[in-house]
Amino acid sequence: MYIKFGIQVIWWIAFLAIGMFILYTAYKDYKFKLKTKQESILYEMEQCKEDYNSNECQPETRRQALKSYCALKEICMNRDPFKEALSLIEIGKLAGEFLNSFFAALNVRTMCCLSLLIMYPIVFGFRYRPN
57 touches 73 (CB < 8 A): yes
Q: How far apart are CA 101 and CA 78, in angstroms?
A: 34
Question: What single letter denotes the amino acid at residue 91?
Answer: I
The answer to the question of residue 30 being in a domain is yes
Q: How far apart are CA 68 and CA 57, in angstroms?
A: 10
The answer to the question of residue 18 being in a domain is yes
Domain limits at 32? 2-42+81-125
Model confidence pLDDT, tens digit, residues 25-79:
888 888 888 888 889 999 999 999 999 889 888 888 888 888 888 889 999 999 8
Q: How far apart are CA 69 and CA 47, in angstroms?
A: 14
Is pTM, for the whole model, over 0.75?
no
The answer to the question of residue 38 being in a domain is yes
Percent over 90 (pLDDT), the chain: 12
